[in-house]
A and B are shown apart, each in its own frame.
Chain A
Amino acid sequence: MIQIVEKRDGRVVGYNEEKIKAAIRKAMLQTDLGEDEALIQKIADRVGMNGHQRMTVEEIQDRVEFELMKSKRKDVAKRYIAYRDQRSIARQAKTRDMFLEIIEAKSNDITRENANMNTDSPAGMMMKFASETTKPFVDDYLLSTPVKNAVKNNYIHIHDKDYYPTKSLTCVQHPLDRILKNGFVAGHGESRPAKRIETASVIACISLETAQNEMHGGQAIPALDFYLAPFVRASFIEEVKNLEQLVDKDLSHLYDAKFPDYLRKPLDNLEGDERLLQHAINKTVGRVHQSMEAFIHNMNTIHSRGGNQVVFSSVNYGTDTSAEGRCVIREMLNSTYEGVGNGATAIFPIQIWKKKRGVSYLPEDPNYDLYQLACKVTARRFFPNFLNLDATFNQHEDWREDDPKRYLNEVATMGCRTRVFENRFGEKTSVGRGNLSFTTINIVRLAIEVMNIPDKGERIARFFEKFDKVLDITARQLDERFQFQKTAYAKQFPLVMSVLWNHSEKIGPNDTIESVINQGTLGIGFIGLAECLIALVGKHHGESEEAQELGLRIVSHMRDRVNEYCDAYKHNYSVLATPAEGLSGKFTKVDRKVFGVIPGVTDKDYYTNSNHVPVYYHCSPRHKAKIEAPYHDLTRGGHIFYVEIDGDATHNEEAIMQIVDMMDKYNIGYGSVNHNRNHCPKCGYENAEKDQHSCPKCGTKFETIQRITGYLVGTTDRWNSGKLAELNDRVVHQ
C-alpha cells in the first residue's frame, strides 16, 4: 500500500488518493463517453493497494496508465497519456524558455541582470545556465520555509543567490602589502615578492583577479598609494644604479635622497648630482605612469569568472603624503584622465578619493594639489568618487598623522558602495575584511499592503509591525546562510582564506572558515524609501518634511533592530542602502502584478535606489544633500550620494568641488557626480550633449558613458529594463 510519495523535486509527501482520482477524472472529461465514477474509484483503489509503501510520482502514474490500458476505457488511457506528456513538457518549458533566451543571446532581464557581464560569450552563457538553474535548487533545499515564503511573496531579495551553494563570501579589501612582501601562489605560478613598481602593479591585478574567482562580489584595494609607494623608491634606486654603471661612479648617497615630489623636469642647466638625480626621477615617473596605465588596462581587459566578466575592482587612495605615495596618486590620476585605447573612459577600476581635512582636502593640505587634479579627472572620467573620512561615523579614534600604517584606520569602500569598518569581533578596520552576504527588504511592498488603512497613525503602526516581522526573517535568513558558509573549507578560497582575509593565516587549508568568518558583515538592505513614503503618507521625503521625518524613523528603526540582531546572533550585521542592479525592476514588476498601477508607487518600472530622492524629482543639489545626508550615518553597510549635473562638467570643476564641500558640510559619507560624457571612438572628440548620438565632427556613433549602481558602462545595451527606465527619468539637480 502506498503511504509515501516522492515528488519530482525530491520532496516527500503523504499519499493522497484524491490526486489520482482527479487526474483520471480530468482525462475522462475530455472523452466522448465522459466520466465513470465507479471506474475511477476502482483504479484508485487498485493502484493504492497494490503499490509499494514508498513510490515516486512517475511510478504511480505508470501504474494508473497500466490500469487504464487494462480497462475497457482505452480512450481515457489515451487522454491520460497525452495529459502526462503535456504536463511534463510544461514543467520543462520554463527552463527551456530560459535556456533558449540565453542561447539566442536575446536582450532581456535574465541576460541583462548584471550590466558588467557579457552573457553573449560561451563562458558567459555557461555561467548564466548555471546561475539560473542553481536558484531553484537554493529555494528548494537551502532556504528554510519562512525565508522561502518571504522570497516568494516579494518581501525580500537574497542577493547572489546563485552563488549560495558555493558558500562564497561577497567581497574583500585586499591587504596588498601581505602579498607584495611575501609573494603568493596562484594557479600554477608562484610569484616572488615584488621589487619594482611594474611587478607590484601586476601583482595587484593578479590579486584582484584571483580573489574575484573565489568570491561573488567586488574586489578592492583600500590604500593603493600606501601599498605601492615603497616600489616607487625601489624603482628610483634601480634608476640610480643604472646611472652608476653609466658614469662608473658610486652614487649610493643618492639612494636615500630626500626630495618633496617626483616631478618630471628638463635636465637643461643641471649638473653633477643634481642632473643625475633629476634624470633618475624622470625615469621613475615614466615607469610609474606606465605601471598605472598597465594597471588600468589590465583591470579593463582581464576577464575572470570563466572569462566573461572583468573584475569588479575598486581602488582607494589620496591620503599618502609621501613623495612616493603622491607619485602613485598623480600618475594614477593622469593615466585615468588620458583614458584607455583611443582616449576612452576606463570603466574599471572604480576609483575613490579619500578626502580628509588636514591631508587631502583643504587648500593648505599637503595633497590639495592632487585633490584638485582628482576633481578635474572626475569631471571628465566620472572617477574618482569621494569618500569623506571626516564624516563623524567614518573617523577612527586611533588614526595618527605620523603612523606609517595609518591607512589601517582609514575607512575604505568597495566602489559600488559597500562599507565595512566597525567590528564587534576584532580590529575596527576596512582592510582584510568584507561583506559575507546581503539581503534586501522590499519596504514598498510592506507600505502598499497597509496603504488603504484610512487612519494614518494606524497605517504607520501596521507598517512597522509588518516591517519588524520581515526584519526578523531577514536576520534569520542571513544567519542561516552564515551557518552554511562557515562550513566551507579554507582551501575552497585558496587566496582569500590563506592571505587576504584577516586571521586566515591561523587556519589550514583543510580547516573550515568558521573561526575567521565573523570578521565579515551581513548586510540588511532596503530599496524604494521614496515609494514607500508615498504609499504611507502621499509624498516622498524630497518634497515633504513629514515624509522625511517618517523616512528617518523607518531607517533608524532598521538600524536599532540590526544592532539587536548583532547581539542576538553574534554577527556584524549592518544596514545597507541597496543599489540593487538586478533588483531595480524585479520587485516592482511583481508588486504591480498584484496591486496594479499605483500612482507614484508602482507606476514606473523601478523602485528608487535606497534612500535617494527620486531621480525624476527636480530639486537643487543642496536640497538633495540635506535630505539624503542623515541616512548616511544610519546605513553603515554602505551608501552613496549622487548629484546629477547639467552641462559639461569639464568646464566647471568648481561645481565638483562644491559637491565635495556639501559632503563635508552635511556629514555625507560617500558621494559622486553623475553627468553625461559622449566619446567618439573614431576621432576621440568628446562632449556632454545629452541627446546627441553621433559625433558632430565625423558622424561616428558616440559611446556614451553612464553610471549604473556605481559602475560605469560604456553603452546602455546591457542595462536591464528597470535600470533603463530609471536612466530615462533622471533629472539634473538644479
Chain B
Amino acid sequence: MRGTTVDGPGFRTSLYLAGCDHRCPGCHNPSSWDRYAGTPMTIDEIIDIVREEDFDVTLSGGDPLLNPESTARLVAALKGDGRNVWIFTGFRWEDIVEVPSLLAAVREADVVVDGPFIEALKDPDLLFRGSSNQRLIDVAQTLENNRIVLYGH
C-alpha cells in the first residue's frame, strides 16, 4: 500500500507479508494468514517498489516474523536505503528477545508494534494499533536501556 497514514507517522509504504500463525479473533486481514497467499518477490523487487516513493516503510501482514530470516534481510535492505522501518508483529517483545532469529529480524527496525490483537481490548482511538495490549516499542532505546521504552517517550 503506497501512502497510507495509519501504519506509522507520515505517509508510508506498507508491505504485507503473507503468513501468520497467531490467528487473532477479529483480525482485520485474515486473508493473509495463509503463507502462500501473496505474490513471491525478491528483496530487490520490493526495494524497487519502495523507491517509487520517498516514504518510510511499515512491514505488516501476516506476521513478518513468521519468516524471520527473510524479514531480517528485508529490514537491512530498507535501512540501507535510508528508510525508517516499523514492524507489526503478533509476538510479544518479551518473547522476541528470547529467540535469536526473531531478535535479529527486528533489531535494525525503528519501531516494533508488538502483541496479538485482542478483541476485548479493541479501541479505535489508539494511535497506530488495534488493541490496548499492543505497544509501540522504540527498538534502539529499548535495546540500549535493556527495558521497554515506548515510541515518543
Contacts and interface: CB of A to CB of B under 8 A. Distances in A.
Contact of B4 (A622, A654, A734): A734
B50 to A, nearest CB: 12
A652 B10 contact: yes
A649 B5 CA distance: 8
Given A621-B11, A655-B10, A687-B125, A647 B53 contact: no
Contacts of B124: 687, 689, 696
B51 to A, nearest CB: 12
Contacts of B5: 645-647, 649, 651-652, 655, 734
Given A620-B53, A651-B128, A687-B125, A734 B3 contact: yes
A658 B4 contact: no
B140 to A, nearest CB: 19
B10 A620 contact: no
B127 A651 contact: yes
Contact of A652 (B9, B53, B55): B9
Given A621-B3, A645-B5, A658 B10 contact: yes
User: Chain A interface secondary structure, helix, strand, loop or mixed?
Assistant: loop
Contact of B2 (A651, A654, A689, A734): A734
B1 interface: yes
A297 interface: no
Contacts of A652: 5-6, 9-10
A553 to B, nearest CB: 26
Nearest to A673: B5
A733 interface: yes
Contacts of B125: 648, 687
A652 B8 CA distance: 8
Contacts of A733: 3
B124 to A, nearest CB: 6
B99 to A, nearest CB: 31
A50 B84 CA distance: 95
Contacts of A619: 2
A247 B86 CA distance: 60
Nearest to A692: B124
Contacts of A734: 1-5, 11
B53 to A, nearest CB: 5
Contacts of B10: 652, 654-655, 657-658
B33 to A, nearest CB: 23
A654 B53 CA distance: 16
Contacts of B6: 646-648, 651-652
B74 to A, nearest CB: 20
Contact of B11 (A648, A651, A658, A689): A658
A622 B9 contact: no
Given A652-B9, A658-B11, A622 B128 contact: no
Contacts of A658: 10-11
Nearest to B6: A647
B9 A647 contact: no
Contact of B3 (A622, A648, A651, A689): A622
Interface in B1-59: 1-6, 9-11, 52-55
A670 B14 CA distance: 28
In the A-B complex, the 4 residue pairs with the smallest Cβ-Cβ separation, listed nearest first, are A647-B6, A654-B10, A620-B2, A620-B3
Interface of B: 1-6, 9-11, 52-55, 124-125, 127-128
13 contacts: A622-B11, A622-B53, A622-B55, A646-B4, A647-B6, A651-B5, A651-B6, A651-B127, A652-B6, A655-B10, A655-B11, A657-B10, A687-B124
Given A620-B3, A658-B11, A687-B124, 14 more contacts: A620-B11, A621-B3, A622-B53, A622-B55, A646-B4, A647-B4, A647-B5, A652-B5, A654-B10, A655-B9, A658-B10, A696-B124, A734-B4, A734-B11
